[in-house]
Structure 1
Amino acid sequence: MGELQRLPANSDPDTLAQVLRDDGAAIVENVLDPAALDQLKSEIMPYVEATEPGRDDFTGRHTTRTGALVARSPACRELVMNKLILGGANAFLDPFCERIQLHLTQLIRIRPGQGKQPLHRDRLAWGGFLQDSIEPQFNTIWAVTDFTEENGATQVVPGSSKWEAGREARPEEIRYAEMAAGSVLVYSGSVIHSGGANQADHDRMGLNITYALGWLRQEENQYLSCPPHIAKDFDPALRDLLGYCMGSYALGYFTPPTGPGENPEVVPPEFLFSGKVTDWSEGDDLYEKVSERACAGPV
């Protein structure tokens, strides 16, 4: 019977990626210290307290979901760029894309009285249109409070990422991602999971940060949640992750909507911030990478 593997915070990204390939999920323990958690909560709790609950059984009638956290929280930006997590995401998704992107940031607060969320796979955000051989997501839930079975710890079915379509989890196959605040549940877009029922007298809060293949539509529209006038002050690597970069050799350029001849006709997204057109050398690298994979055939 599958169990959730637990990894130390000093694990390397390749090890984390391999565990996800094998099991679909794992817990990385004690990544954040209490001071970092306090800073995160001080930045996001005003928004969390102002968030309305869900309006159906899936989003949770006693659950709040607060987004736009890259724009709102410097501490969240640091988590998005965490070396272990981002390195693991790149290693895990690399076979299926030229570049990954930030897919979602959301503080999920499960309040007392909330029942279990229906079990599901996050990859269904794109319907059933992706081939099963393509893994679209690398997901995290950072424990902002302790996660216990009583207060709604995430339900996970280890190994279900390899199941055939239509197979349902039996109760004895479900595990609970019980972990201390500051730990992180990492799981693939193909693993079966859901929010647990909160039977405690306090909230369970988890920060859901997910990454996806750079050629897919993002669940949280980062260009609207974190528009250019905010993103301009970020580190360029974070801007790239938000999607302000070329996703492939010919994916993501734009034409500045200005007068005739005022700007070049075709520019990469970075033009928004620099006002300059680079030599596209990185784009050439992406072109070579695309060409190599096209010649190699399906992965």
Structure 2
Amino acid sequence: MTLPRYGVHDDIEDVVTALTTTGAVVIENLLPEKIVSGLITDLRPQFDREGHLYQNGFNGHQTLRVGGVTKYSAYFADFLLNPTVLAVADAVLKPYCDVYQVGSTTAIEILPGEGAQVLHADDTCYPSHL
């Protein structure tokens, strides 16, 4: 499956329509390079220390994962408060609730040689579906 791709300045309604139709989209160049570099620098020690703990047949053996990344980098707030992220989240979630919150903050580093993971919903983490 090829995911729809958008730029940070593309129409939010187009992004939301694609997201609700396909279940996922890519927004290219969402964050400035300074923020991306800051996240990478801040998360590197965590990836090196604990990233291997979640390697298995489903997650991959050449994939590193770190959970709870909000506690490791102040740059994560720049992602969460990004106007495009907020506009898409508001458009998708606000029709169903007054307030929403982030339920998972996991960073994933896919190393060379890792096969593609099957596209899937992380629905086992949550008790109900929208």
Please classify the TM superposition score into its range, dividing by the shorter chain length.
Answer: 0.7 to 0.9
Distance 2:95 2:75 in 1: 30
Q: Map of 1:48-63 to 2, 5 A cutoff?
A: 48-53=47-52, 54-63=54-63
| Equivalent residue number for residue 105 of structure 1 | 105
Cα-Cα RMSD: 2.3
Distance 2:69 2:122 in 1: 20
Residues 42 and 86 (structure 1), Cα distance of their counterparts in 2 relative to 1, 3 Å cut: same
The structural deviation recorded for 1:73 is: 0.5
Q: Answer with 1 or 2: which has the greater Rg.
A: 1
The structural deviation recorded for 1:25 is: 2.2
Greater fraction strand: 1
Instruction: Tell me, yes or no, if the aligned pair for 1:18 and 1:92 is still in contact at 8 Å.
Output: no
The structural deviation recorded for 1:101 is: 0.6
Distance 2:21 2:51 in 1: 38
Residues 94 and 31 (structure 1), Cα distance of their counterparts in 2 relative to 1, 3 Å cut: same
| Equivalent residue number for residue 72 of structure 1 | 72
Q: Which consecutive unaligned segments of at least 5 residues does structure 2 have?
A: none
Distance 1:52 1:24 in 2: 27
Counterpart of 1:88, as a letter, is V
Residues 90 and 41 (structure 1), Cα distance of their counterparts in 2 relative to 1, 3 Å cut: same
What is the TM-score normalised by the length of structure 1?
Answer: 0.39
Distance 1:5 1:59 in 2: 23
1:37 lines up with 2:30 in the alignment: no
Distance 2:36 2:72 in 1: 16
| Equivalent residue number for residue 130 of structure 1 | 128
| Equivalent residue number for residue 26 of structure 2 | 27
Residues 7 and 112 (structure 1), Cα distance of their counterparts in 2 relative to 1, 3 Å cut: closer
The structural deviation recorded for 1:56 is: 2.4
Distance 2:25 2:98 in 1: 25
Instruction: Tell me, yes or no, if the aligned pair for 2:4 and 2:25 is still in contact at 8 Å.
Output: yes
Instruction: Tell me, yes or no, if the aligned pair for 1:44 and 1:72 is still in contact at 8 Å.
Output: yes
What is the TM-score normalised by the length of structure 2?
Answer: 0.80
User: 3-state SS of the aligned residue for 1:101?
Assistant: coil
Instruction: Tell me, yes or no, if the aligned pair for 2:55 and 2:62 is still in contact at 8 Å.
Output: no
The structural deviation recorded for 1:12 is: 4.3
1:121 lines up with 2:121 in the alignment: yes
Q: Which consecutive unaligned segments of at least 5 residues does structure 1 have?
A: 135-299
Q: Percent of counterpart pairs with the same letter?
A: 27
The structural deviation recorded for 1:3 is: 4.6
